[in-house]
């Protein structure tokens, strides 16, 4: 058939489509969010609109926007934005304007400010004294009852709305500043039962998108796995004593959640922490950060040459394992979660080949005992660098509301919710189980706070939790050979074993196992066998499980040596699955062995419409051209569906004509046929192969860096979406 045969009718005009792009309307999800959560959601682009040059956390701005602009009515939003701008202009204290503000207080006698307030106890005078970070005044007397009600004032400080008065005294020892009132910027209460009831009105995907918008990102820019990676960053706020690490490239937003998202978290520089500041000051008995904050995050934690306090590392190890620390002869407990974020300077294969994925940590922390306390390792290299188009203009929870929701659920334990459907492998140690349970429980509380989830939804989170702990344990094996390797996975209700691997394990098996030939038991009940073989190239990954199947390959190679005949391994038959964000995947690896010798090839894919889909088709045809003899000809047929929109259909047909002409020059005769109502995607060759494609050719994630991206011309450098391929040998 000719391209002109693809010509269904349409009632949607291109003008209407373009108008919607230029003037986007509120999405169905945004309407639903406002309907079920009135008054506690805000449009996320408003934060950027009002922030200006105010160096203030997002939760402070959203607190104000929640008071004035928590609506989907445009007039109310505009009025609210203007009100918040006026409040910031009139009351937020910029450090370079502190003298002007102090003068204003003196002249007016009283003025309201927004500032970060810290409190210390003056033992000599037996009084509590407040200092104001931006205003630059200290020694202001504060009522003890106010301090008791807001103990975080004593540790790290709290953003507050305060009334400051001025009264001069002839006594130079008397501070002229008087605190008239103080109100911390955080919610006082919320309706948790109402939160759970409203959650039931959202589908799983809708709820995850709402959470991603709450963080501030556009969910359309993220795949499912990428969304879960973002949500793992919230687990320390919803789980007590959760130990999380994320190492990855710069600019991926690793510390944003812990500095901007919640008034219950404290972000500190890794080099600034001391034993008294973090745990307890033995000289005065003052409890440190872990006693007052839900989350203590260490920014810029990586750096091999950083100096570390051995005593701090030892106390931290004990706290992370036992939730306690010593104050002299007395043992004290706390529930703060510990988060460690830092930048990597090498690629994943480089680290796997030369050291391990903890390579960037200071030497004192590059210790198996410390690392074994970590419950989860977020692969920061999978997270995209933050770009402007990734930010959301949709609605999400006022982050202070979400912070209170998460804090209220710290008392709940969802770690056993999977046990109705799954059983962890018996070889998984107690510490490994604790890490898996905490990550699973946290994700359950965040995504399914009602505790209601299907078996498939449960298994998705369990696999993700197992992977997070497995990444920790596998790297510990490189640091300390005394640890025993463990097969990570779970059994379902029918007794079927589901091995779990990491993405980098599937991508770089030769580097991941450092030359060990391993043969894990199929049921996950025992330990890995390992040998001293140094040639890791014999390892081959089979499907999603990443199992290393070496025995057959070695036997075949031995037979080949005996006969001295060319050996050609049989082509794989069955299912292969690839994880979201995986690299090292290409059409050549997926399809080339199955295309050799074929003179007639069909692709059934109803979604060859957009330019990137046309590019996918061209790259597939390039592969066909490279696989055949230049003197041979190949007949290629694409079964697809025309776009409904007339203008977009015209562009689609022009794109296909161009492809048709280009392919003909390489000896490939291309034709197109309409396959109305089709959905399944597959390839068929006249050599007897059918290849079922879960996503068709559209397996690669979108990239906006153009020709400056190495993946532009090399598919193996691109990240893929989650997809599966099934290879079926048919009778010729």
Q: Is residue 23 part of a domain?
A: no
Rounded mean pLDDT of 668-689? 88
Q: Is residue 18 part of a domain?
A: no
Rounded mean pLDDT of 534-543? 35
Give the whole-angstrom CA distance, residue 653 versus residue 638. Answer: 13
On whether the CB atoms of residues 340 and 371 are closer than 8 A, the answer is no
CA neighbor of 584 nearest in space, from 480, 510, 499 = 510
Of the ranges 34-48, 452-466, 480-494, which is most confident?
452-466
Q: Is residue 167 part of a domain?
A: yes
How many CA atoms does the CB half-sphere of 665 hold within 13 Å? 5
Number of domains present in the structure of the chain: 4
Q: How confident is the model at residue 397 (pLDDT cuts 50, 70, 90)?
A: very high
What is the domain range of residue 105? 95-184
Residue 22 has pLDDT above 50, yes or no: no
Q: Is residue 48 part of a domain?
A: no
Together in a domain, 285 and 400: yes
Together in a domain, 587 and 692: yes
CA neighbor of 332 nearest in space, from 292, 369, 280, 295 = 280
Taking phi over 0 as left and psi of -120 to 50 as alpha, with beta for the rest, 338 belongs to beta
Three-state SS for 623-672 is: HHHHHCCCCCCEEEEEEECCCCCHHHHHHHHHHHHHHHHHHHCCCEEEEE
Together in a domain, 678 and 540: no
Together in a domain, 646 and 580: yes
Together in a domain, 241 and 168: no
CA neighbor of 486 nearest in space, from 508, 464, 471, 504 = 471
Together in a domain, 609 and 724: yes
Together in a domain, 621 and 530: no
Together in a domain, 586 and 687: yes
CA neighbor of 643 nearest in space, from 4, 7, 5 = 7
CATH classification at residue 115: 2.40.50
Rounded mean pLDDT of 147-174? 87
- Decide which of 50 and 335 is more confident: 335
Together in a domain, 402 and 544: no
Q: What is the pLDDT of residues 253-279, one digit of tens each?
A: 898 889 888 888 889 986 678 888 889
CATH classification at residue 673: 3.30.870.30
CATH classification at residue 286: 3.40.50.300
Q: Is residue 68 part of a domain?
A: no
Residue 187 has pLDDT above 70, yes or no: no
On whether the CB atoms of residues 414 and 200 are closer than 8 A, the answer is no
Together in a domain, 286 and 338: yes
pLDDT at 519: 42
- 690 CB-contact burial (10 Å; exposed 0-12 / middle 13-18 / buried 19+): middle
Q: How confident is the model at residue 521 (pLDDT cuts 50, 70, 90)?
A: very low
Together in a domain, 250 and 378: yes
Choose the final residue of a domain: 163, 184, 205. 184
Choose the final residue of a domain: 521, 542, 563. 563
C-alpha 287: how far from chain center: 33
pLDDT at 394: 92
* φ and ψ at residue 135, rounded to 5 degrees: -70, -30
Q: Is residue 419 part of a domain?
A: no
SS3 content of the chain, % helix, strand, coil (to 5): 40, 20, 40
Q: Is residue 32 part of a domain?
A: no
Least confident of 200-214, 267-281, 638-652, 656-670: 267-281
On whether the CB atoms of residues 118 and 153 are closer than 8 A, the answer is yes
pTM: 0.76
Dihedral angle at the C-alpha atoms of 535, 538, 543, 545, nearest 10 degrees?
-50
Give the whole-angstrom CA distance, residue 598 versus residue 629. Answer: 11
Together in a domain, 480 and 612: no
Rounded mean pLDDT of 97-105? 92
Choose the final residue of a domain: 184, 204, 239. 184
Q: Is residue 724 part of a domain?
A: yes
């Amino acid at each position: 058939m000719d391209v002109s045969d693809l010509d269904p009718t349409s009632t949607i005009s291109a003008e209407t489509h373009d108008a919607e792009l230029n003037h986007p309307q509120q999405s169905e999800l945004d309407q639903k969010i406002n309907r079920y959560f009135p008054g506690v959601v805000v449009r996320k682009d408003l934060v950027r609109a009002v922030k200006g040059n105010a160096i203030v956390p997002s939760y402070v701005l959203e607190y104000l926007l929640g008071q004035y602009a928590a609506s989907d009515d445009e007039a109310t939003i505009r009025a609210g934005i203007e009100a918040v701008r006026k409040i910031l202009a009139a009351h937020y204290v910029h450090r370079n304007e502190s003298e002007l503000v102090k003068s204003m207080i003196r002249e007016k006698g009283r003025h309201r400010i927004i500032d970060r307030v810290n409190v210390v106890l003056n033992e000599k005078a037996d009084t509590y004294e407040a200092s104001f970070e931006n205003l630059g005044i200290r020694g202001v007397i504060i009522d003890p009852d106010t301090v008791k009600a807001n103990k975080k004032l004593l540790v790290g400080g709290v953003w507050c709305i305060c009334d400051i008065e001025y009264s001069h005294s002839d006594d130079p020892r008397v501070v002229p500043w008087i605190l008239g009132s103080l109100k911390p910027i955080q919610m006082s209460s919320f309706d948790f039962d109402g939160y759970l009831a409203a959650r039931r009105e959202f589908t799983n995907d809708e709820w995850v998108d709402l959470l991603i918008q709450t963080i501030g990102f556009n969910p359309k820019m993220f795949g499912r796995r990428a969304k879960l990676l973002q949500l793992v960053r919230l687990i320390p706020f919803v789980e007590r004593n959760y130990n999380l690490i994320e190492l990855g490239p710069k600019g991926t937003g690793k510390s944003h959640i812990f500095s901007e998202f919640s008034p219950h978290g404290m972000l500190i520089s890794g080099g600034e922490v001391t034993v008294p500041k973090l745990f307890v000051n033995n000289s005065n008995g003052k409890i440190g950060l872990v006693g007052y904050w839900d989350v203590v995050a260490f920014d810029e934690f990586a750096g091999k040459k950083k100096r570390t306090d051995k005593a701090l590392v030892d106390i931290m190890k004990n706290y992370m394992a036992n939730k306690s620390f010593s104050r002299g002869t007395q043992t004290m407990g706390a529930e703060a979660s510990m988060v460690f974020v830092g930048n990597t300077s090498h690629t994943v294969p480089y680290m796997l080949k030369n050291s391990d994925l903890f390579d960037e940590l200071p030497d004192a922390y590059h210790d198996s005992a410390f690392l074994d306390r970590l419950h989860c390792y977020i692969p920061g290299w999978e997270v995209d660098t933050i770009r402007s188009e990734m930010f959301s203009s949709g609605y999400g929870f006022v982050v202070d509301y979400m912070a209170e929701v998460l804090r209220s659920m710290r008392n709940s334990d969802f770690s056993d919710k999977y046990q109705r459907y799954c059983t962890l492998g018996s070889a998984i140690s107690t510490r490994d189980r604790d890490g898996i349970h905490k990550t699973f429980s946290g994700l359950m509380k965040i995504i399914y706070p009602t505790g209601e989830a299907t078996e498939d939804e449960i298994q998705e989170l369990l696999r993700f939790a197992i992977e997070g702990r497995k990444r920790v344990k596998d790297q510990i094996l490189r640091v300390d050979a005394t640890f025993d390797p463990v097969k990570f996975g779970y059994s379902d209700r029918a007794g079927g074993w589901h091995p779990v691997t990491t993405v980098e394990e599937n991508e770089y098996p030769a580097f991941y196992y450092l030359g060990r030939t391993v043969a894990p038991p199929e049921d996950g009940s025992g330990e890995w066998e390992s040998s001293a073989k140094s040639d890791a190239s014999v390892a081959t990954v089979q499907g999603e499980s990443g199992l290393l199947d070496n025995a057959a390959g070695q036997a075949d190679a031995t037979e080949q040596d005996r006969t001295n005949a060319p050996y050609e391994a049989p082509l794989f038959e069955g299912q292969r699955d690839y994880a979201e964000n995986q690299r090292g995947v290409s059409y050549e690896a997926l399809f080339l062995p199955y295309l050799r010798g074929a003179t007639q090839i069909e692709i059934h894919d109803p979604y060859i419409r957009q330019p990137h889909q046309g590019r996918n088709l061209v790259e597939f045809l390039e592969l066909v051209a490279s696989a055949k003899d230049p003197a041979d000809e190949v007949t290629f047929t694409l079964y697809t569906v025309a776009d409904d929109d007339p203008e977009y259909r015209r562009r689609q047909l022009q794109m296909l004509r161009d492809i048709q002409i280009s392919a003909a020059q390489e000896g490939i005769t291309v034709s197109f046929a309409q396959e109305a109502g089709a959905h399944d995607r597959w390839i068929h060759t006249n050599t007897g192969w059918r290849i079922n494609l879960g996503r068709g050719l559209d397996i690669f994630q979108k990239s906006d860096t153009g020709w400056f991206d190495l993946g532009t011309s090399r598919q193996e450098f691109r990240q893929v979406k989650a997809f599966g391929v099934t290879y079926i040998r048919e009778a010729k």
